[in-house]
Structures are given as C-alpha cells and as structure tokens.
Amino acid sequence: MDTLGFLTLISVLIAALTLLRLYAVLPSTKSAKPSGRHEDSDVCSFAVFLGSGGHTSEALRLLSALDFNRYIPRTYIISEGDTLSMHKAMDLERAKSTEASQSTPSTSGSDAPCSFVVIPRARRVHQSFLTAPFSAVFSLAASIWHLTASPLFSGPPAPDVLLLNGPGTCFVLCIAAYLSRFLGLKSPKLIYVESFARVRHLSLSGKLLRPLVDRFIVQWPDLLQDGKRGECRGWLV
C-alpha cells in the first residue's frame, strides 16, 4: 500500500470513529423522561443562560420556582455587556435569600452561593452575517473554556444541569457541552425550554437544539404536532 492509500485509510477510520462517538453521545430520539423522584436532601449544581430581554425574564421566572437550597451552586451565564440581566439575577437571589431567612432563620445567603460567567455574544443585534462567524467562534472559545477547560484546572466543576431558552448563544454553549461529552469529561444535562411567545412555530434556536438537548420542553402543544421529540408542559412562565 502506497503512502497516499495509507493516509486515506487512516482518514476514513478517524472519520468513522468520530461519527460513532458522536452517535454515542447524542440523546435518544425519544423524549427523555425524568429519572425519578429525588430525595429532598439531594443537591444539584445548576447553570442558566440569560439571553437578555424577554429571554432573561422567562428564565428567571423558571428559576423562581426552584428550591435554592437544593440547586447549589448556581451559575448565571450572561452575554458581554448585559448588565441588566445580571442585576435581575441578583434581585432574584436577594429575594430568595430573604424568603429563606424568613422561613428558616438559620439559613443565610452564604449557604446558597451563586456566580456569574460572562461570554461574548455569538451574534450581536443587527450584526452583519459576514462578521457573525468570527464573533461566534470567539463566543465558542469562551464557552469551551468555562464548560470544558476550566473545570480541568483550578476552575469550578462543570454544572450538573444547564438550562437554555434562547437566543443564538445557546447553540454555542450546547456545542461546548458536547465537546466535553465527546472527550468523556463531565458535561451538564442540557434542558431547553422554548419561549412562551412561540405558539405555532419553533424559534431557530429551538430547531437547532431540538435533536441535541437531553430534554426539549415547549409550552404550547401545537409545537409538537410534527411528532418529533419534545415535551409539552403547559404554561411555565
């Protein structure tokens, strides 16, 4: 076998192994079901992407229903320059801390830590499609650092769950999480909740993430008429 034939064979084998690995880490085509009832003492590290504007409001409404004593630590991922989302998340943390201290005086805010991670936007509003790929790559690099590389060194471990609800930067975070899965590293369970505003048609983020996330949740039944994977949980926000 000549050199060219040998290199071709190696390339085909690498491509085949890569495809097999990707197939192994992809979620089932059937809708995932909750693994069962957890004990009240179980804790879960949790991360959520706040996509600004209405996306942030819906995400925080979802989080407000959680028991913050069980979901610790919490990580809020925000886009660069989105200080409003950070302030809203801090308001929620303060409200939850006050609520906990009133119900259980011995509980303090330090028992339920939270942190913020800032990543570049995958695409800015009105950004040219010619330059968008460059900003998307920059955003992907930052996401890989926080979800894959940093946990290997001195950074905090990857979260157990990552909640997504749009916009486009969600897809970048999903790809970063899949890199960890591909490499056999700890990767968060991915939960995508489609926006309440999407009644008849999925958003672009929803269409892209539907086959990738572990649980795909919508709030209107018409979005699942195509019979593909997903769960309708009614009005969540």
* Average pLDDT score over residue span 32-42: 58
Q: What is the largest CA-CA distance in the chain?
A: 77
Calculate mean pLDDT across residues 180-196: 94
Task: State the pairing for strand pair 189-193/46-50.
Answer: unpaired
User: DSSP 3-state assignment of 209?
Assistant: helix
Report pLDDT for 117.
95
Q: Which residue has the tokens 């003492």?
A: 41
Please tell me the predicted confidence (pLDDT) of residue 110: 43
Strands 74-79, 114-119: pairing is parallel
Those residues whose C-beta lies under 8 Å from the C-beta of residue 66, and which sit 6 or more positions away, are 46
Read off the pLDDT of residues 86-119 as tens digits, 9 standing for 90 and up.
999 999 999 998 887 776 655 444 444 899 999 9
Between 236 and 21, residue with greater pLDDT: 236
Q: Provide the pLDDT confidence category of residue 164 given band limits of 50, 70 and 90.
A: very high
Confidence check: pLDDT of 62 > 90 = yes
116: exposed, middle or buried (Cβ count in 10 Å: 0-12, 13-18, 19+): middle
Domain boundaries, the chain: 43-232
**Topology of the domain covering 43-232:** Rossmann fold (3.40.50)
For residues 50 and 59, is the Cβ–Cβ distance under 8 A? Answer: yes
Confidence bin at 128 (pLDDT 50/70/90): confident
Establish whether the linkage from the previous residue to 167 is cis, with ω within 30° of 0.
Answer: yes
